[in-house]
Amino acid sequence: MKKAASVSVAIVLAVLSSAAQAQWAVIDAGNLAQNVLIAARTMEQINNQVLQLQNEAQMLVNDGRQLTSLDFNALSQLRATLATTDRLLAEAQGLAFNVSQLDTDYARLYPDAYGAGTSTRQMADDAHARWQNALDALHTSMRLQAQVVQNLPADEATLADLVNRSQSAVGQLQATQATNQLLALQAKQTIDAQQLRITQDRAAAAELARQAAAQARALEVRRRFLGDGTPYTPQAIAFY
């Protein structure tokens, strides 16, 4: 009986020893270290991918800012002020700004010389019309000057607003749009100056043309006064 028990114990010990040896053979320290290293590298790769995704997301956010449109448009206001000055030019009296109409009126009212068949009344009416044209041209120039002065406060406010928006732009698109509108404001002011110069030059030209026509009229009036016959020559008279 004891022998059987001893054999049984021996068998159990042998089995346990064999199982322990088999379990020790499965858990390989080198393989475990390699697996841990692979896991660490995999984790590092995952972290790098996360950082890359974060960078790409930030790039998309930055791109979105670069493409953000400016929530301000000064072009409508600039067009409105330009339309006002254009209206003043359209309302201008006197010599037309249309070339064909100007040529017709100029040839009628500003002749190089008056013929003998022109009546005195006609010359007087033409002189009055020329005076009126010069007065209208001066009036138009002064009206446009007043309008440009009225536009200055609005232009200054628009300029300040655009500069502030350009400096606080969150992206390239906003900065570009603000710059373009600043250039539009500058172009509008250039057009204002050009229109004002046109009306001033028109007033000066109308006055010079009036003076030239007045000289032509004066020559004809003088010729009629002197007449075409032999002028009177005073002679001494002997009473005794």
Residue 4 has pLDDT above 80, yes or no: no
Q: Token pair for residue 79?
A: 């067009």
Domain definitions of the chain by residue range: 31-66, 75-226
217 vs 225: CA distance, rounded Å: 12
Q: Is 68 exposed, middle or buried (0-12, 13-18, 19+ CB in 10 A)?
A: middle
Give mean pLDDT, residues 164-168: 79
9 vs 72: CA distance, rounded Å: 95
pLDDT tens for 58-89 read 777 666 666 666 666 777 888 888 888 888 88
Task: Tell me the residue type at 173.
Answer: L
Helix (H) or strand (E) holding 160: helix 120-167
Identify the band that residue 172 occupies on the pLDDT scale cut at 50, 70 and 90: confident
Q: Is 192 exposed, middle or buried (0-12, 13-18, 19+ CB in 10 A)?
A: buried
Identify the band that residue 197 occupies on the pLDDT scale cut at 50, 70 and 90: very high
CA-based end-to-end distance of the chain = 208
